[in-house]
Amino acid sequence: MTSYAGGLKSGLTFLILWGLPHFALAAKIDMRPGVTEMSVRIQQIHHMGLWVCVVVGIIVFGAMFYTMFAHRRSRNPTPATFSHSTPVEFVWTLIPVLILVGMAVPTTITLRDIEDNRDSDMTVLVTASQWKWRYEYLDSGISYYSNIATPQEQIDNLEPKDEHYLLDVDHPLVLPTNRKIRFLTTADDVIHSWWVPDFAVKQDAIPGFINEAWTEIPEPGIYRGQCTELCGKGHAYMPIVVEVRPEAEFDKWIEDQLLAANLAGEAAVAARAKTWSMEELVPQGEAVFVKHCVTCHQRDGMGQGSKYPALVGSPITTGPIPDHLNRVMNGKANTEMQAWAPQLSDLDIAAVITYERNNWGNDTGDVIQPVTVYEAR
Amino acid sequence: MVAHAETIPKRHHPLLAFAARWLFTTNHKEIGTLYLWLSFLLFFIAGGMAMVIRLELFQPGIQFAQPEFYNQVLTLHGLIMVFGAVMPAFVGLANWMIPLMIGAPDMALPRMNNFSFWILPFAFALLLSSLFMEGGAPNFGWTFYAPLSTTYGPPSTDFFILGVHLMGISSIMGAINIIVTIVNLRAPGMTFMKMPLFVWTWFITAFLLIMVMPVLAGVVTMMLTDRHFGTSFFQAAGGGDPVLFQHIFWFFGHPEVYIMILPGFGIASQIIPTFSRKKLFGYDSMVYATAAIAFLSFIVWGHHMFTTGMPFVAEMFFMIATMLIAVPTGVKVFNWVATMWRGSITFETPMLFAIGFVMMFTIGGFSGLMLALVPADFQYHDTFFVVAHFHYVLYPGAIFGTMAAVYYWLPKWCGHMYDERLGKIHFWSATIAVNMTFFPMHFSGLAGMPRRIPDYSLQFADFNMVSSIGAGVLGLTQVFFLYIVIKTIRAGARAKARVWEGAEGLEWEVPSPAPLHTWNTPPVITEGQAH
Amino acid sequence: MNLRVRNRHTFLLIALAVGMFGFAFALVPLYNVFCEITGLNGKTSAQAALVDEIEASKAPVDRKVTIEFLAQAARGMPWEFHPTEGKLVVQPGEMHATTFYVRNLSPHAVTGQAVPSVSPGQAARYLKKLECFCFEQQELPARGEMEMGVTFVIDSKLPPDIRELTLSYTMFRVEDVEHEHFTSRNE
């Protein structure tokens, strides 16, 4: 008995148990070709590496299997006595060198093209924070946050998981086809990494520094990826969804966004003009709290240890209103508490603060108006 | 393992005597035994953590471990496996075997030897105790990248830093001891180029340890001052740079991964000739290849960081340096095959583990070569493909290597033969389970599954389920290994001095079990004898 | 075994270990030098460029380069921070100036320190700054605002394959005494 049988057996077990029910096995176990020119070229490099390894593997393992079979004691009772051979050793040092040079050349050419960020048609600034992405179109000034859209109930196995479990966001990144798009990546807190496999773009987002990458997508469609650098407990929950639209549709989308930003501005003005009641603010505040705050502070407001403080009876949520506003709007340095002022509307901030100050036994009775938030901006 | 009445100090209470014997021992065999048992214990603790990880990944969704706890378990699994299971196991083997193999009566610095072992239980107790602290254990992965580990690290990070310092001091002292022993205590006639390959690989590994463990100590010291003393080595706000952390860490980290494999190369180079009944092929080139691998390990660290925004020229440099490592590694594999070639091979358990080591380590080497190709690395980086790669070099590499060594030398240590049938069952079940656990990870990685996540999307579910089943079986096979070892220590056929008929080397010239004191009169190696 | 030889070897190896511990710290300045030479991480110099350095970079060349400006406030920094011009098309070798706008949104005085980053990294050492608000800390009173200037030259030796570069600033909060007082009151 020899060890190759071990690999073979487990391979076969794997194939029989799991491979056969799936058609197109190769497509399932291979690196995906993706949709861009670069992702296809990278897949080719992957295939080159793979096949070199397979061929060398067949030769080396073949020699091992052969010697294990032919030179076992029952067939070859008297061992040979040779213990070195300079020509043979020279040859098997030289041949790998030649193979490696052969692999390095096409790899270098592709790498040079990947690193060529010049002459882009548009730039998107990708800012990572725990645990969401923010996209800013530098050419038109549009920016928004992109949060995971998978409900917590699905993660906790209380509801069936849908097709795009963990790979769904509220606001996807929208990009045009056939334009060279430059990504600038940076981060607010820890290192994250922005990866869309179909574009073969993976770039670390490093706090205080910017990095560049680029892509050009020929096909409209929806492409999904994930954060690939451990960034804390929500690392699994910061997906990336990119919606690629034909150029004309994309330009229309940009116009719509600019218009919507205006409308949102008008809505904010209207919200400021009105005096809101506790009954109006609390349900809305609860919705905001559930969406953005429960990961750390928990549904019952009790937090989790000293790292994620309890909001029940805390000096912030029951103390002076300006401090509460400041903490929610600007976050706390060097902690996971981020600045919510750029992410939420005046009304949402007013609502969530009102909710926090009048829930779980906090009974300040304070009602915070959107106009107060506006003035604090 | 072996009772030696003459060394037991006179104490009234037998328990006290027992504790005093093991606490104060300066005997290389007893310290070797302590190292091996400690690493075995930590192997099961970190293995238990692997079970938690695989249990959570058995299905999508959060079932057993909340993400916060998952990250803690993941971090401790990595740290304990690297610093607690693999490294002490190799140091234990070195303690037991190096003096025997070079004809020395003991290690050159016996008291330091005792000290370097007894630091370790405290270091790991400290690390494990962080699980029960407010804020939980370290949760930033075994690579502890800043600023996740500095600004955002839990309070227990300081205990982690102290623990790493202690492990580092222990490793450095162990390495110094090994080098001084090899340089000063070789038997007359045992020239460097006659040393067994296990001794050679450890000699080189010890140099790697002395050169990189202080760098690790340096980087955790910088973390400590960043956290508490207002420096900003790794904080952009104060003019520092988080990427600098990665450079220093991987300057330590890459030689570290060779520290975890070179002694395994040495073990395979002892075992394969024995069971092929033929001299090791290309002894000289084996030594040079080991040295070349050690040298190259210092100039390839950047291949862990291709996605951090490295300039083209640096990417090229690290890619080519990394690919070059395939050459000396290839030489080693070819030499092992040539050693078997036209030998008279039998397949006892140590040989099975050694062959399994060579083959599956080679698979890990192949994926390593693929990872060196920078453009492809953009797709592989930080996915399960990487997890598959390094588990292939570490599990069937470092751990199978250690197991091969244990089966090979256990009869020498305790004087009993292990049960060959059970050993074979252990090998085959572990081999099947290892492949079942780690091979599908290549596929989930290529399909796009990031590493270090407690929860994943539905497309990865099948591969993860196979991996988890494999991991469960793998865990059981190692419990079975523990049973085999205990059974062998307690009873078994008496082992001869030369346990294996094809074995060469000084360790087979002393009786089995090896008495507590050996080679008080050094043997003389004549011109004809070699390695 | 000769104990003196043994001890000498031991001490040599301990010295090697101590030396490597020092080497880890030596890596920090080495890394900065290395970054400056290769532009490894897009760091620009934290000091104003010297006059002769500026003069040396002024050889006129007939080409245009686009420089894009980015600004962001770090977490916990209650400042609005943005460039007044999104991008400039400039000629290497010529002196240019631009400004960044900041406004303190908080009801307290706050001190900030801006940290620059340049992409592509290789361009960093060709960007010479004569004046920059990032050279020193900036203080704003409660709700105060100001415009802060940068004066720079792009070295005419900028490699021809670089046609656009990005200069990004992150504004970090400096934990001053007043701030300490503010947070400790609220903990």
Q: Do residue A332 and residue C76 have CB atoms under 8 angstroms apart?
A: yes
Q: What is the pLDDT of residue A7?
A: 59
**Which chains pack against A, by 3+ Cβ pairs within 8 A?**
B, C
Q: What is the pLDDT of residue C176?
A: 42
The pairs formed by B256-259 with CB atoms below 8 angstroms and a separation of 24 or more are: B256/B82, B256/B208, B256/B212, B256/B216, B257/B297, B257/B390, B257/B393, B258/B205, B258/B208, B258/B293, B258/B294, B258/B297, B259/B87, B259/B205, B259/B208, B259/B209, B259/B212
Range of lowest pLDDT (A174-188, B261-275, B285-299, C77-91):
C77-91
Nearest to B86 by CA among B330, B258, B290, B304: B258
**Residue A372 touches partner C, C-beta closer than 8 Å:** no
Reported as a pLDDT band with limits 50, 70 and 90, residue A20 is very low
> What mean pLDDT do residues B354-383 have?
95
**Which chains pack against B, by 3+ Cβ pairs within 8 A?**
A, C
> What mean pLDDT do residues C54-65 have?
75
Reported as a pLDDT band with limits 50, 70 and 90, residue C177 is very low
Range of lowest pLDDT (A217-226, A352-361, B316-325, B430-439):
A352-361
Can B290 be counted among the known catalytic residues? no
Q: What is the pLDDT of residues A138-181, one digit of tens each?
A: 988 899 999 999 998 899 999 999 999 999 999 999 999 999 99
Q: What is the pLDDT of residue A21?
A: 47
Can B130 be counted among the known catalytic residues? no
Alpha-carbon gap, residue C11 to C17, rounded angstroms: 10
Q: What is the pLDDT of residues B171-210, one digit of tens each?
A: 999 999 999 999 999 999 999 999 999 999 999 999 999 9
Q: What is the pLDDT of residue C186?
A: 34
Q: Do residue A209 and residue C166 have CB atoms under 8 angstroms apart?
A: no
**3-state SS assignment for residue A190:** coil
Tell me the β-bridge partners of C173.
C112
Q: What is the pLDDT of residue B144?
A: 94
Point out the catalytic residue in the list B116, B201, B297, B329.
B329
ipTM field:
0.91
Q: What is the pLDDT of residue A157?
A: 92
Q: Do residue B281 and residue A67 have CB atoms under 8 angstroms apart?
A: no
Is the confidence at residue C50, as pLDDT, over 80? Answer: no
Alpha-carbon gap, residue B204 to B295, rounded angstroms: 10
Is the confidence at residue A268, as pLDDT, over 90? Answer: no
Is the confidence at residue C8, as pLDDT, over 80? Answer: yes
Reported as a pLDDT band with limits 50, 70 and 90, residue A23 is very low
Structural contact between residues A189 and A129, judged by C-beta atoms closer than 8 angstroms:
yes
Q: What is the pLDDT of residue C47?
A: 67
Q: What is the pLDDT of residues A193-241, one digit of tens each?
A: 999 999 999 999 999 889 999 999 999 999 999 999 999 999 999 999 9
% pLDDT > 70, chain B: 97
**3-state SS assignment for residue A182:** strand
Q: What is the pLDDT of residue A326?
A: 84
The sheet carrying A221-227 orders its strands as A173-176, A239-245, A221-227, A192-196, A201-205
% pLDDT > 90, chain A: 52
For C13, the closest chain B residue by CA position comes to B176
Dihedral over Cα of C34, C40, C44, C50: its sign? positive
Is the confidence at residue C178, as pLDDT, over 70? Answer: no
% pLDDT > 70, chain C: 81
Across the interface, which of A10, A211, A228 has its CB nearest the CB of B450? A228
Q: What is the pLDDT of residue A372?
A: 85
Q: How far apart are the first and last CA of chain A?
A: 75
**3-state SS assignment for residue A27:** helix
Is the confidence at residue B3, as pLDDT, over 80? Answer: no
Is the confidence at residue A293, as pLDDT, over 80? Answer: yes
Please give the model's pTM, rounded to 2 decimal places: 0.89
Structural contact between residues B324 and A49, judged by C-beta atoms closer than 8 angstroms:
no
Can B452 be counted among the known catalytic residues? no
Q: What is the pLDDT of residue C64?
A: 86
Is the confidence at residue B276, as pLDDT, over 90? Answer: yes
Reported as a pLDDT band with limits 50, 70 and 90, residue A11 is low
Point out the catalytic residue in the list B28, B54, B77, B531.
B77
Can B106 be counted among the known catalytic residues? yes
Reported as a pLDDT band with limits 50, 70 and 90, residue B351 is very high
Reported as a pLDDT band with limits 50, 70 and 90, residue B364 is very high
Is the confidence at residue C79, as pLDDT, over 90? Answer: no
Tell me the β-bridge partners of B72.
none
Range of lowest pLDDT (A311-315, B139-143, B291-295):
A311-315
Is the confidence at residue B422, as pLDDT, over 60? Answer: yes
At A287, the amino acid letter reads A
Alpha-carbon gap, residue C146 to A92, rounded angstroms: 69
Reported as a pLDDT band with limits 50, 70 and 90, residue A336 is confident
Size of interface B-C (CB pairs under 8 A): 99
Is the confidence at residue A354, as pLDDT, over 70? Answer: yes
Is the confidence at residue A4, as pLDDT, over 70? Answer: no
Residue of B28, B161, B205, B241 to mutate, interface with C, max C Cβ within 10 Å: B241
What value, to the nearest 5°, has the Cα angle with vertex A134 and ends A133 and A140? Answer: 150
Residue of B184, B219, B220, B225 to mutate, interface with C, max C Cβ within 10 Å: B184
Q: What is the pLDDT of residues B436-448, one digit of tens each?
A: 999 999 999 999 9
Reported as a pLDDT band with limits 50, 70 and 90, residue B100 is very high
Alpha-carbon gap, residue B302 to A112, rounded angstroms: 18
Point out the catalytic residue in the list B170, B276, B290, B444.
B170
Nearest to A17 by CA among B387, B364, B440, B360: B440
The sheet carrying C95-104 orders its strands as C79-83, C95-104, C145-154, C127-132
Whether omega before B147 lies within 30 degrees of 0, making that bond cis, reads yes
Structural contact between residues A340 and A349, judged by C-beta atoms closer than 8 angstroms:
yes
Q: Name the more confident of A29 and B149.
A: B149
Q: Do residue A104 and residue B71 have CB atoms under 8 angstroms apart?
A: no
Is the confidence at residue B528, as pLDDT, over 60? Answer: no
Q: Name the more confident of C60 and B212.
A: B212
Is the confidence at residue A14, as pLDDT, over 80? Answer: no
Is the confidence at residue B418, as pLDDT, over 90? Answer: yes
What value, to the nearest 5°, has the Cα angle with vertex B300 and ends B298 and B306? Answer: 145
> What mean pLDDT do residues C34-59 have?
69
> What mean pLDDT do residues B323-345 have?
95
Q: What is the pLDDT of residues B21-70, one digit of tens each?
A: 999 999 999 999 999 999 999 999 999 999 999 999 999 999 999 999 99
